[in-house]
């Protein structure tokens, strides 16, 4: 493609609204433009890259035996009412009415739509397992869209759904998709980890997230420094064993702690370290109240609270509920004398403690010399805290370290929730009617594009790996006004087109400096510079990810290009 004719609006400056590299570079290099908050246009360069990523995904989905379809973005509200999600999702689910006033959801995901197809079209075990997928825009009205394509309100997703006759079969489909995801992210050259994850609102059993390691990632990964263990930090269990304190328990004593509310203020006032105080946080778990108690220096992990209590919804209790239940607000909560209706769950690290402080459930008062098991007995001890760097890895090998990650994929074993609610049944080999078992498997395709830019860029711009680059060769004619330069560049361009090699030709009447800067920004792997030695049919070749340039005669240029791109 000739750049003089192409829509590649590069910018010198970072756009004000972009504050991470991938967002800045995709806008500056003319790949995307924002239409509205969280809504983007893929310009020609961006669309070419997106298509390359889709191609890798399609090849691996098809190789895994999944069948591509295309479902509608418009989904009748009735479908979401059958699964109940019409009522459980809030304003994130975009809804609309048609001309007959009938309600629709704009597809945020397609479990319901896909299940409604299977229940109508597949009724025998002979057709199972069946994995179907699509690559289509999803709509989710994010409260805070940000970071460009990383968190948008309309974005491209590959979503696949497996339909199985049993959980054993689901295990195989899940592993099959998991392996396909590994191949996809390997082929895209991404530094990623598959991590044990929480299934969130989806329920279901096992689930893994595929995380691209990046400092701008919203998720924290807890991984072992010596083994392959990796989990979303929300899920990583704490396996540290705490030895019992040898101190002799003292007499519990109520002390005035005027206006001391935070753990640190109380610890400073009573003259002890943070870990000699108990932190008590009140949660509303579905419709009961749970007081979670941890050591003062530990953090409560609300996902663990939710999973431990097998709850649907976990929220922090309001101050009002807390005062009503405990007689005091957040600053002086404690497990001693908690009322029957409040379940007390203490983290394992609390059990061996002796002579610690905690709130006295009275405004401005705390207890000293509190010993768990003597001055209070929690209803349960459990793993309630976030794992920390240096904690032993749950697989017993090495210690935990943290890294930030961008979630580009998420695979779920859903079970029968949707099939049950929507009547997706099949006749098994004995003619008995059974409910299907499902898995669902997503990749954020446009998010993967941005994650690739996060991993593949330098201070001058994007550095595409050749399997995702919008073009493979970038020809720069430094001075098209010079006949010998323009003719040589035109001929090389024609040769590359004849060879079927994707080539972008910067034939613009711009200064050389502008062409070099734009070429560094756009990030095409191989650059051919047609400059002052064009008269001798000599050009320069430079790889985007190397500093060095080499002079090459036109006669050996094509071979050189082919082995550089091999």
Phi, psi of 102 (to 5 degrees): -80, 140
Size of the site for Mg ion (CB under 5 A): 1
Stretch that binds ligand 9G3, among 174-182, 288-296, 434-442, 473-481 (CB under 6 A): 434-442
CA distances from 195 to 256, 361, 481 (A): 46, 40, 56
Pairing of strands 473-477, 503-506: parallel
Q: Which of 410, 457, 527, 542 binds Mg ion (CB under 5 A)?
A: 410
Q: Considering beta carbons, is residue 179 or 321 the nearer one to ligand 9G3?
A: 179
Residue 199 CB, nearest approach to ligand 9G3 (Å): 9
In the complex, what is the shortest distance from the CB of residue 441 to ligand 9G3, in angstroms, rounded to a whole number? Answer: 6
For position 294 contacting ligand 9G3 by CB under 6 A, the verdict is no
CA atoms of 456 and 214, how far apart (whole Å): 11
Spatial contact of 367 and 334, defined as CB atoms under 8 Å apart? yes
Stretch that binds ligand 9G3, among 17-25, 47-55, 337-345, 436-444 (CB under 6 A): 436-444
Instruction: Specify the 3-state DSSP secondary structure of 464.
Output: coil
Query: 121, 116, 118, 129: which is closest to 66 by C-alpha?
Result: 129
Distance CA 192, CA 407 (A): 9
Contact indicator for 209, 318 with CB cutoff of 8 Å: no
Helix locations, 213-354, DSSP H: 263-270, 302-308, 319-326
Contact partner, 83, from Mg ion, ligand 9G3, none, Cβ < 5-8 Å per class: none
Question: Smallest gap, in angstroms, from Cβ of residue 406 to ligand 9G3?
Answer: 16
Contact predicate 383/241, CB 8 Å: no
Instruction: Indicate which of Mg ion, ligand 9G3, none lies near residue 153 (CB less than 5 to 8 Å, by partner kind).
Output: none
440: contact with ligand 9G3 by CB under 6 A: yes
Q: Which one, 43 or 443, has the nearer CB to ligand 9G3?
A: 443
CB contact at 8 A, 236 and 227: no
Q: Do 28 and 15 touch, CB atoms closer than 8 A?
A: yes
From residue 562, how far is each of 344, 490, 556, 557, 566 by CA, in Å?
68, 19, 10, 9, 6
Q: Count CB neighbours of 261 within 10 A.
A: 15
Show the binding pattern over residues 103-132: x = contacts ligand 9G3 (CB under 6 A), - = does not: -----xx-----------------------
Extract the tokens encoding 88: 């459980």
Between 295 and 410, name the residue whose CB sits nearer to Mg ion: 410
**Comparing C-alpha atoms, which of 124, 130, 88 is closest to residue 109?**
88
Size of interface with ligand 9G3, in residues (CB under 6 A): 14
**Smallest distance, Å, CB 198 to Mg ion?**
9
Among residues 445, 469, 446, 447, the alpha carbon closest in space to that of 457 is found at: 469
Name the minimum Å distance from CB 410 to Mg ion: 4
What residue 232 binds from ligand 9G3, Mg ion, none (CB within 5 to 8 A, per partner kind)?
none
Integer Cα distance of 485 and 399 in angstroms: 60
Q: How far is the CB of 197 from Mg ion (least distance, A)?
A: 7
Cα 181 to Cα 509: distance, rounded to the nearest angstrom: 44
List the single partner that 109 binds among ligand 9G3, Mg ion, none, CB under 5 to 8 Å by kind: ligand 9G3
Nearer to ligand 9G3, 108 or 528 (CB): 108
Q: Is the peptide bond before 514 cis (omega within 30 degrees of 0)?
A: no
CB atoms within 10 A of CB 536: 12
Least distance from C-beta 178 to Mg ion, angstroms? 15
- If one asks whether residue 442 binds ligand 9G3 (CB under 6 A), the answer comes out as yes
Q: 119, 140, 151, 208: which one contacts ligand 9G3 (CB under 6 A)?
A: 140
The interface with ligand 9G3 within residues 174-213 (CB under 6 A) comprises 202
Cα–Cα distance for residue pair 291/279, rounded to 1 Å: 10
Least distance between Mg ion and beta carbon 241 (Å): 32
Q: Give SS3 for 401.
A: strand
Q: Interface mask (CB under 6 A) for ligand 9G3, residues 46-85, using x and -? A: ---------------------------------------x
Residue 248: CB atoms within 10 A of its CB come to 8
Closer residue to ligand 9G3, CB minimum distance, 31 or 441: 441
* Residue 342 binding: pick among ligand 9G3, Mg ion, none (C-beta 5-8 Å cut-off by kind): none
Closer by beta carbon to ligand 9G3, 110 or else 279: 110
Q: Which of 60, 112, 154, 159 binds ligand 9G3 (CB under 6 A)?
A: 159
Read off φ and ψ for residue 353, nearest 5 degrees.
-75, 150
CA distance 560 to 263: 66
Structure tokens at 380: 């349960």
Does residue 18 bind ligand 9G3 (CB under 6 A)?
no
Decide which of Mg ion, ligand 9G3, none touches 527; Cβ closer than 5 to 8 Å per partner kind.
Answer: none
Nearest to 235 by CA among 194, 196, 283, 285: 196
What mask, x for binding ligand 9G3 by CB under 6 A, covers residues 84 to 103? -x---x--xx----------
| Span 374-433, contacts to ligand 9G3 by CB under 6 A | 410, 412
Of 344-373, binders to ligand 9G3 (CB under 6 A) are: none
* 3-state SS track over 120-137: HHCCEHHHCCEEEEEEEE
Of the listed pieces 25-33, 418-426, 440-448, 468-476, which binds ligand 9G3 according to CB under 6 A?
Answer: 440-448
Tokens of 401: 């370290």
Residue nearest to ligand 9G3 (CB): 442
Q: x/- binding map, residues 368-397, to Mg ion, per CB under 5 A? A: ------------------------------
Binding site for Mg ion (CB under 5 A): 410
Q: Provide the binding-site residues for ligand 9G3, judged by CB under 6 A.
A: 85, 89, 92-93, 108-109, 140, 159, 202, 410, 412, 440-442
């Amino acid at each position: 493609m000739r750049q003089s004719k192409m829509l590649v609006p590069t910018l010198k400056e970072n756009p004000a609204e972009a504050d991470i590299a991938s967002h800045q570079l995709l806008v500056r290099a003319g790949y995307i433009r924002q239409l509205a908050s969280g809504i983007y246009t893929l310009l020609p360069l961006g669309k070419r890259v997106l298509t390359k990523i889709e191609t890798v995904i399609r090849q691996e989905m098809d190789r895994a035996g999944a069948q591509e379809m295309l479902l509608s973005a418009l989904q009748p509200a009735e479908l979401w009412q059958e699964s109940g999600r019409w009522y459980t999702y809030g304003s994130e689910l975009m809804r609309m009415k048609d001309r007959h006033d009938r309600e629709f959801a704009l597809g945020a995901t397609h479990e319901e739509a896909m299940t409604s197809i299977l229940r109508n079209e597949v009724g025998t075990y002979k057709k199972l397992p069946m994995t179907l997928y699509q690559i289509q825009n999803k709509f989710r009205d994010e409260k805070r869209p940000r970071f460009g394509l990383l968190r948008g309100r309309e974005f491209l997703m590959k979503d696949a759904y497996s339909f199985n006759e049993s959980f054993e079969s689901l295990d195989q489909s899940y592993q099959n998709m998991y392996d396909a995801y590994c191949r996809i992210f390997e082929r895209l050259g991404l530094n990623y980890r598959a991590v044990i994850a929480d299934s969130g609102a989806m329920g279901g059993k096992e689930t893994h997230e595929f995380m691209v390691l990046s400092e701008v990632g919203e998720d924290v990964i807890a991984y072992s420094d010596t083994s392959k263990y990796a989990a979303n930090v929300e899920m990583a269990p704490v396996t540290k064993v705490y030895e019992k304190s040898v101190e002799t328990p003292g007499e519990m004593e109520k002390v005035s702690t005027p206006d001391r509310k935070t753990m640190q203020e109380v610890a400073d006032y009573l003259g002890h370290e943070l870990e000699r105080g108990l932190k008590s946080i009140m949660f509303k778990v579905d419709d009961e109240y749970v007081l979670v108690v941890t050591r003062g220096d530990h953090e409560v992990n609300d996902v663990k609270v939710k999973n431990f209590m097998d709850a649907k919804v976990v929220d922090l209790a309001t101050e009002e509920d807390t005062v009503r239940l405990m007689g005091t607000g957040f600053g002086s909560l404690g497990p001693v004398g908690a009322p029957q209706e409040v379940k007390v769950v203490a983290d394992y690290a609390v059990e061996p403690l002796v002579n610690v402080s905690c709130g006295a459930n009275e405004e401005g008062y705390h207890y000293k010399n509190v010993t768990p098991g003597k001055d209070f007995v929690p209803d349960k001890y459990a793993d309630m805290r976030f794992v920390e760097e240096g904690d032993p890895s749950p697989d017993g090998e090495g210690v935990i370290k943290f890294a930030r990650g961008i979630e580009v994929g998420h695979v779920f074993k859903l079970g029968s929730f949707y099939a049950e609610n929507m009547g997706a049944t099949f006749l098994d080999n004995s003619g008995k009617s059974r409910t299907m078992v499902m898995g669902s498997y997503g990749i954020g395709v446009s998010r993967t594009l941005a994650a690739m830019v996060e991993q593949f860029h330098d201070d001058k711009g994007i550095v595409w790996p050749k399997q995702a680059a919008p073009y493979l060769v970038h020809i720069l004619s430094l001075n098209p006004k010079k006949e010998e330069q323009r003719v040589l560049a035109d001929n090389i361009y024609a040769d590359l087109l004849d060879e079927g090699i994707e080539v972008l030709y910067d034939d613009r009447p711009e200064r050389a400096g502008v062409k070099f800067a734009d070429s560094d920004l756009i990030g095409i792997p191989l650059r051919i510079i047609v400059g002052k030695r064009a008269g001798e049919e000599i050009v320069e070749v430079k790889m985007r990810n190397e500093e060095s340039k080499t002079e090459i005669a036109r006669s050996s240029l094509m071979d050189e290009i082919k082995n550089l791109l091999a």
